[in-house]
Amino acid sequence: MKRRAFLKNGALASISLPFVQNGFSMQAIAKELFSVPKSAEDKVLVLIRMNGGNDGLNMVFPRDQYAELVVQRANMLVPENSILPLTNTVGLHPKMTGMQTLFNEGKLSIIQNVGYPEPNRSHFRSMDIWTTGSLDINQTSGWLGRYFESTYPNFPDAYPNVDYPDPFAISMGSEVSATCQGLVGNFSHALSDPFSSSSLPLTPVVNDGTYYGSQIEYISTLINQTNEYGQQINSAAVAGNSLSNLYDPQNPLAVQLKYVAQMISGGLKTKVYILNVNGFDTHDAQVDALDFKEGVHANLLQRISDAVRAFQHDLQLLGLEQRVAGLTFSEFGRQIASNGSMGTDHGDAAPLILFGSCISSGIIGTNPQIPNQINSQAGIPMEIDFRDVYASLLKDWFEVDPNQIQGLFEQNISYLDLLQGCTNSITQQETFSAQKALVFPNPSLSKHQLRFNSAGAHYEIFLVDQQGKVMAKVLDSFVQAGVFNQSFEVSLLPQGSYYYLLKSAAHQELVAFQKI
Amino acid sequence: MNLYNGPWTSAEAAHLLRRATYGASFPQIQLAVNGGMHACVAQLLNITPINEPLAYDPGEQIVAFGQSWVNAVYPADVTANQQTEAARRKSLGAWLMQNINQEQLNLTQKMQFFWQNHFGVTSSGDARAMYQFLNLLHQNALGNVKNLVKEVATDPCMLVFLNGSTNTVFSPNENFSRELLELFSIGKGPQVAAGDYTNYTEQDVAEGAKIFTGFIVQGVRSSTQSQVTSQFMPQLHDSSTKVLSYHFGNQTLSANGAQEHLDYIDLIFAQPETAKYICRKLYRYFVNYDISTWVETNIIAAMAQILVNNNYEIAPVLEALFKSEHFYDTSVRGAIIKSPFEAVFSMLNSTGSVVNFDLQTSSQMYLTMYTLADQMGQEYAAPPSVAGWTAYYQAPAFTKLWINSTYLKKRFDVALLMTTNGLTLNNQNFSLNFLGLLNGLSAPAAAPTVIQDLCTVFCPKVIDPADQLYLKSLLTGGLPDFEWTLQYNEYLADPTNPTFYNPVILRVKAVLNTLFRMPQFHVC
């Protein structure tokens, strides 16, 4: 990385201040703030992307409104008696027997009507929104990329290393996942076959600070990572195991999930696996003209359902069930009414599927309301914000501190109870406490805001580095009672971990942030 | 844009040729230096005609071996029909790679692929229609973008790809209408209100769908029709008056049958944002992924103005761009990571290596290259989505997306293949033209100059002296430089004697084997 000058004002020389705060040394607090709880260290999240915009209404059926569905999509609706019942009012597509089984075993949950405000019906923009976890057009990092960046700083330059020898995420196939995009590198490692390994030659390069320099440095880093991660993956896959006989070798998703099971059982510490299924952009011939239960979409659903069922079965046999949870997502659902080509056009919200033995099984949310007449271009309105689903997974599954999570998302998070049953780690609803100070966005690139609840007192706020050195005093004045909110320019700060130390007569607090 | 008036050396000429073609050789770079920038740009702005793809695969059951199939019917029998289609697709894939490998030193191939990325079309299920579509892109590669969009709108391949062929007054289908605005013309801006994307709204998408109703496609894999055609069916067209959103001044389009969509495309191109959107894509493709505020204000705006002033002709825009001060700024040199085609064909084209065997062997070798490029993330006739390849639009990584652990391994495999055994098929071996490359350099007998010249051809910036020394040690086999001079001169004295040329080839192979796997080779 290029060296950057520190802060514009040269007068802000650092003052050495090895002080102790509330009985803890700064170093200890730093560790506390950024460490991952032991119980969450071996948790794995599997994401399955349904690329193209999945027709939620042909996957999860509001059984109580079949008559309305007939009004909307008579030219493609599966017969009522073939829908697989989950509850009295909710059913699955007839091809999804595998997932029906998981639901009955308490290992599958449907999250209804997931979307975001002001839906965007462009594949590309909407997929950006889902992968960045943000509605901000300028947000380019992925939601998992931000989480990783705030927890494991200095990626990709500092990785792999002794503490983190394995890729943070693996994207099955030949492309990395936008969910894991950080500001410099992508935290996901693209992998086609964990059993193939070969070493690439590495020529060290120098980044001269130009576009050229950053590109050749990137390629060089990737060569190094490919070699080191490749060896780790290969050893894990060879050491690993797969016990289920339910995987269909003709089903590409099943083959990939089997690889995932082998890597997990072989001890790979990768936290996230991302898999991709193409083909959901079903503008025409979504169903078979002679049998509406069959067709392109039915086959895609069956592939996912069967593969997840086999994977879950494998994890059970391997004794790994409690370590793995999975989630499906797609850029949008489709319009309520079908079009004239036995297909559906781009719509809005749609259901997500959550699976694993630790998830709180059942139906989260309510059935969408299907009108009894066709409204041109109407989609399913959002009920649950997808960013809340992500945030809830981070909190309950990876046990991330809610304040850190709030720094990753722009909206005020409402947590959902997604995980229960096996660990029951956090049951009560926790939300951002206005008593605690917050830096947003965190990690920060150029500007961020510091927010805290002032009791109405004289405050001194210091910027402190990882070694406990005070870099600058950024505030020294009376702060009125209420929420204090101020922007700070940090673009010239070298990358690393920092804190704001808030001090008043009655209130002392540290809030950490990452500069990237 | 300011006219470039700095030095015109092999560094500048090589930079221009690396961006505008799939690979120039050292002698071609020298010719460009001697001719000057204006002559070089003038040469680049030509379109080379291309021959039609020829049948070579035994699956073809209509035309004879070596004949063009682009205007030939399909067999009526279902199996024979499928076999023939498979054979024609192979022929098409091989032909696409052959065109790149045999490009003349101009923009034809780079621009044809630019449009393929722009429209993101995947085959319609009839190789003849895909050929027609690619040929349309070829004919208009440096032509008028407004006309091209009009042609593409009713092209059979596009009509099938984005469901235009089933878009009727009875069941409008928004697919093409949406992508036309979002990706092909004006581009999508930030969402500023529900269904409002700065430059257009959902209303325009819905009304646009109606405007494009009524075109059907005939003759897909037909045993009687020699071409796939599109036809306007008035009874399937929505003849209501269409009302556009405030972004288009709430204008109305009255029924105008088969011409109505042309009126609509004229309206879209009348919006200033359309020219800017097209120029941003050109800039990202040819100059740099990063469009800073400065670039937007000074370069994109100027390019867009030239496009508008020239009634949407592309050539004047590229002419100005390739002669601009900004294009030669050292800050943008080497800013692009090579696409798989750029990586593979810089190995071939810059060494003057052309696959030239019997039709079947050549075609099979080109098809192998097509497949290798696919495994590196670039399958010509099948973009990953209608938005094209992510490397051209996905922020912040852009061309970094050509490089990941999977693609990287494949790239290096290809580099190894090309610098060791080459490609062997039907007892024929294709190797790079190592001797031709060497003999074309400025002073082949001088080891340091050989390395310098190779870096001029293959690397966008001067590489570190230590790396140059290392490459030189591969050329000399670790011996003093004069040993290489002796070796080369022995070969020159008896050029057909394998005792002398084989060791020379081996040394050049050793250099390229490493050079092609250095990060500096993979940027341009």
pLDDT for the residue numbered A421: 57
- How is chain A split into domains, by residue range? 20-35+434-515, 38-406
Long-range contacts of B459-464 (CB under 8 A, 24+ apart): B459/B334, B459/B515, B459/B518, B459/B520, B459/B521, B460/A212, B460/B14, B460/B15, B460/B18, B460/B333, B460/B334, B460/B520, B460/B523, B460/B524, B461/A212, B461/B333, B461/B334, B461/B520, B463/B518, B463/B520, B464/A205, B464/A206
Residues of B within 8 A of A194 (CB-CB) are: none
Average pLDDT over residues B325-351: 98
Separation CA A161–CA A166 (nearest Å): 9
- pLDDT tier, A490 (very low <50, low <70, confident <90, very high otherwise): confident
Residues of B within 8 A of A220 (CB-CB) are: 519
- pLDDT tier, A422 (very low <50, low <70, confident <90, very high otherwise): low
- Domain A38-406 class? alpha beta
Element (H, E) at A477: strand A470-479
Residues of A within 8 A of B517 (CB-CB) are: 200-201, 203
Please state the domain count of chain B: 1
Separation CA B137–CA B118 (nearest Å): 10
- Asked if residue A506 has pLDDT above 80, the reply is no
Separation CA B142–CA A249 (nearest Å): 47
Separation CA A368–CA A382 (nearest Å): 9
State how far the alpha carbon of B57 is from the alpha carbons of A76, A391, A502, B380, in Å.
Answer: 40, 55, 75, 20
Residue B79: strand pairing partners:
none
Distance from CA of A193 to the nearest CA of B (A): 9
Element (H, E) at A21: strand A20-21
pLDDT for the residue numbered B79: 94
Distance from CA of B492 to the nearest CA of A (A): 33
- Asked if residue A29 has pLDDT above 90, the reply is no
Specify whether the CB–CB gap between B264 and B211 falls below 8 A. Answer: yes
Mean pLDDT of chain B: 95
- At A143-173, the pLDDT tens digits run 999 999 999 988 887 888 888 999 999 999 8
Pairing of strands A496-503, A508-515: antiparallel
pLDDT for the residue numbered A162: 87
Contacts of A287 (CB under 8 A, 6+ apart): A58, A76, A78, A293, A294, A295, A296, A297, A298, A342
pLDDT for the residue numbered A18: 30
Return the DSSP state at A368.
P
Separation CA A189–CA B410 (nearest Å): 15
- Asked if residue A21 has pLDDT above 60, the reply is no
pLDDT for the residue numbered A197: 64
- The shortest CB-CB distance from A230 to any of B332, B405, B522 is to B405
Pick among A122, A215, A338 to test the B interface (most B CBs inside 10 A): A215
Higher-pLDDT residue of A499 and A39 is: A499
- The shortest CB-CB distance from A216 to any of B182, B195, B519 is to B519
Return the DSSP state at B495.
T
B405:A120 CB<8 A: no
Residues of A within 8 A of B397 (CB-CB) are: 181, 186
B175:A181 CB<8 A: no
Q: Is A272 helix (H, G, I), strand (E, B) or coil?
A: strand
- pLDDT tier, B351 (very low <50, low <70, confident <90, very high otherwise): very high
**Chain B residue closest to A51 (CA)?**
B385
A137:B190 CB<8 A: yes
| Residue in the block written with tokens 């020219």 | B275
Structure tokens at B88: 């024609």
Specify whether the CB–CB gap between A47 and A62 falls below 8 A. Answer: no
| Residue in the block written with tokens 């705030």 | A150
- pLDDT tier, A138 (very low <50, low <70, confident <90, very high otherwise): confident
Residue A325: strand pairing partners:
A45
Residue A45: strand pairing partners:
A272, A325
**Chain A residue closest to B388 (CA)?**
A124
pLDDT for the residue numbered A42: 87
Longest dimension (CA), chain A: 78
pLDDT for the residue numbered A36: 57
Specify whether the CB–CB gap between B348 and B23 falls below 8 A. Answer: yes
State how far the alpha carbon of A294 is from the alpha carbons of A67, A69, A157, A308, B408, in Å.
Answer: 21, 18, 49, 20, 39
Specify whether the CB–CB gap between B123 and B139 falls below 8 A. Answer: no
Residues of B within 8 A of A125 (CB-CB) are: 188, 191, 197
Element (H, E) at B157: helix B156-161
Separation CA B127–CA B69 (nearest Å): 9
Distance from CA of B289 to the nearest CA of A (A): 9
**Chain A residue closest to B160 (CA)?**
A284
- Residue B492 falls within a domain, yes or no? yes
Q: Establish whether the linkage from the previous residue to A441 is cis, with ω within 30° of 0.
A: yes
pLDDT for the residue numbered A5: 25
| Domain residue limits at B493 | 434-522
Return the DSSP state at B300.
I
Average pLDDT over residues A361-378: 92
pLDDT for the residue numbered A38: 58
Average pLDDT over residues A417-428: 53
Q: Of A48, A148, A32, whose CA–CA distance to A394 is shortest?
A: A148
CA B478 remoteness from chain centre: 40
Q: Of A365, A279, A351, A297, whose CA–CA distance to A73 is shortest?
A: A297
Long-range contacts of B315-322 (CB under 8 A, 24+ apart): B315/B45, B315/B142, B315/B143, B317/B279, B317/B282, B318/B44, B318/B45, B318/B107, B318/B142, B318/B282, B318/B286, B319/B41, B319/B45, B320/B1, B321/B1, B321/B282, B321/B283, B321/B286, B321/B287, B322/B16, B322/B20, B322/B41, B322/B44, B322/B286
Pick among B338, B404, B521 to test the A interface (most A CBs inside 10 A): B404
- The shortest CB-CB distance from B188 to any of A122, A190, A341 is to A122
- At B425-440, the pLDDT tens digits run 999 999 999 999 999 9
- At A343-353, the pLDDT tens digits run 999 999 999 99
**Chain B residue closest to A197 (CA)?**
B409
Distance from CA of A373 to the nearest CA of B (A): 16
- The shortest CB-CB distance from A201 to any of B172, B333, B517 is to B517
- Residue B516 falls within a domain, yes or no? yes
Sign of the C-alpha dihedral computed for residues B160, B161, B163 and B164 taken in this order: negative
- Asked if residue B217 has pLDDT above 60, the reply is yes
A124:B393 CB<8 A: yes
Residues of B within 8 A of A137 (CB-CB) are: 190-191
Burial of B68 (0-12, 13-18, 19+ CB in 10 A): middle
Specify whether the CB–CB gap between A341 and B166 falls below 8 A. Answer: yes
| A210 HSE (CA, 13 A, CB side) | 15
- At B374-422, the pLDDT tens digits run 999 999 999 988 999 999 999 889 999 999 888 998 999 899 899 988 9
Structure tokens at B355: 């696959």
Specify whether the CB–CB gap between A7 and A493 falls below 8 A. Answer: yes
Separation CA B473–CA B200 (nearest Å): 60
Residues of A within 8 A of B337 (CB-CB) are: 215, 218-219
- Write b or e for each residue in A333-352: b if 16 or more Cβ atoms lie within 10 A of its Cβ, otherwise e: bbbbbbbebbbbbbbbbbbb
- pLDDT tier, A275 (very low <50, low <70, confident <90, very high otherwise): very high
What are the start-end ranges of the E strands in A236-334?
A: 272-277, 324-329
A226:B405 CB<8 A: yes
**Chain A residue closest to B162 (CA)?**
A283
pLDDT for the residue numbered B524: 96
Looking at chain B, the whole-number percentage of residues with pLDDT higher than 70 is: 100
Separation CA A365–CA A347 (nearest Å): 19
Q: Is B460 helix (H, G, I), strand (E, B) or coil?
A: coil
Distance from CA of A482 to the nearest CA of B (A): 32
Q: Would you put residue A419 in left (φ > 0), alpha (ψ -120 to 50) or beta?
A: beta
Interface confidence, given as ipTM, is: 0.94
- At B278-296, the pLDDT tens digits run 999 999 999 999 999 999 9
Residues of B within 8 A of A180 (CB-CB) are: none
- pLDDT tier, A37 (very low <50, low <70, confident <90, very high otherwise): low
pLDDT for the residue numbered A435: 53
* Residue type present at position B31: L
Residues of B within 8 A of A49 (CB-CB) are: none
Contacts of B22 (CB under 8 A, 6+ apart): B100, B101, B103, B109, B110, B341, B342, B345, B346, B349
A339:B394 CB<8 A: no
Distance from CA of A137 to the nearest CA of B (A): 6
Pick among A135, A186, A219, A344 to test the B interface (most B CBs inside 10 A): A219
Residues of B within 8 A of A199 (CB-CB) are: none
- Residue B108 falls within a domain, yes or no? no
- Asked if residue A426 has pLDDT above 60, the reply is no
Pick among A141, A339, A516 to test the B interface (most B CBs inside 10 A): A339
- Residue B487 falls within a domain, yes or no? yes
Distance from CA of B178 to the nearest CA of A (A): 8
Separation CA A122–CA A113 (nearest Å): 18
**Chain A residue closest to B169 (CA)?**
A340
- Domain A20-35+434-515 class? mainly beta
B409:A226 CB<8 A: yes
- At A211-270, the pLDDT tens digits run 999 999 999 988 988 888 988 999 999 999 999 999 999 999 999 999 999 999 999 999
Specify whether the CB–CB gap between A280 and A53 falls below 8 A. Answer: yes
Return the DSSP state at B297.
I
